[in-house]
Amino acid sequence: MLPRLVLSVVLALAAGLLPLQLARGADAAPTTAPAPAGALLPPAGPADDAPPPAPDKGVDSGLPIPRFVSLGADKVNARTGPGARYPIAWQYQRRHLPVEVIAEYEYWRRIRDHDGTEAWVHKNLISGRRYGLVTGHVQPLYDKRDEASEVLLTAEPGVQARLRKCPDRVWCEVEIAGTRGWMQRKALWGVYPDETFD
């Protein structure tokens, strides 16, 4: 009968849960047996001095996932899958509509709109030009980053605003119908709460 420790190691090896060198002892060559497909391996703990994980990047573009973009054409076919062979579910007919890229596959981007609806569109039909969508209720466009400043115009929900810059977590400089001013970012869909850019 095998001692318990040896028996435990043999059973663990058979299940693919231990590297081969552990069973051979410390003096063994540092070769490991590949774990069989589907084997459950214990998670590796993060090193204390390990840097924080980088944001996810698109495999094809190298750009962050998710990220906001806008539709770059007047008519954009929204497909059920990443390819022209997939059927068209509907068609967007609103250039510069802000959407969020949530996945990539070759020349195709999976997008999510402000309603939470998802579809696949060709990468040539989206643009890096940033727009926001006015949400909630009628929102004021201020002359300065100050609610006490002059109101240049008011925008209804659903109005598209060109995002010029969002230098802090409260305000974005936007352009609506040729008028440039400042709007609180909480009034806009198309920019992340902690995102800043110039």
Q: What would the pLDDT profile of 121-163 be if each residue is shown by its tens digit?
A: 999 999 999 999 999 999 999 999 999 999 999 999 999 999 9
**73 and 122 together in one domain:** yes
Within-domain flag for 80: yes
Within-domain flag for 20: no
Strand ranges in the chain using DSSP code E only, listed in sequence order: 67-71, 76-79, 88-92, 98-105, 108-112, 118-122, 126-127, 131-134, 139-142, 151-155, 160-165, 171-176, 179-184, 188-189
Alpha helices, H only, the chain: 4-14, 20-24
Domain that holds residue 141: 132-189
Q: Report how far apart, in Å, the C-alpha atoms of 165 and of each of 42, 47, 171 are.
A: 45, 37, 9
**144 and 112 together in one domain:** no
**88 and 119 together in one domain:** yes
Among 106, 129, 152, the domain-final residue is: 129
The SS3 call for residue 7 is helix
CA 2 to chain CA centroid, nearest Å: 53
What digits encode the pLDDT tens for the residues 73-103?
Answer: 999 999 999 999 999 999 999 999 999 999 9
- The CATH number that applies at residue 148 is 2.30.30.40
**110 and 93 together in one domain:** yes
Within-domain flag for 141: yes
Instruction: For the chain, give the longest Cα–Cα distance.
Output: 89
**116 and 153 together in one domain:** no
CA distance 36 to 172: 52
- Is the whole model's pTM more than 0.75, yes or no? no
Q: Give the total number of structural domains in the chain.
A: 2
Within-domain flag for 151: yes
**72 and 124 together in one domain:** yes
Q: Tell me: pLDDT of 3 over 70.
A: no
What digits encode the pLDDT tens for the residues 36-87?
Answer: 333 333 444 444 454 444 458 988 899 999 999 999 999 999 999 999 999 9
**75 and 121 together in one domain:** yes
Among 110, 129, 148, the domain-final residue is: 129
Q: What angle do CA 56, 61, 113 make, to 5 degrees?
A: 70
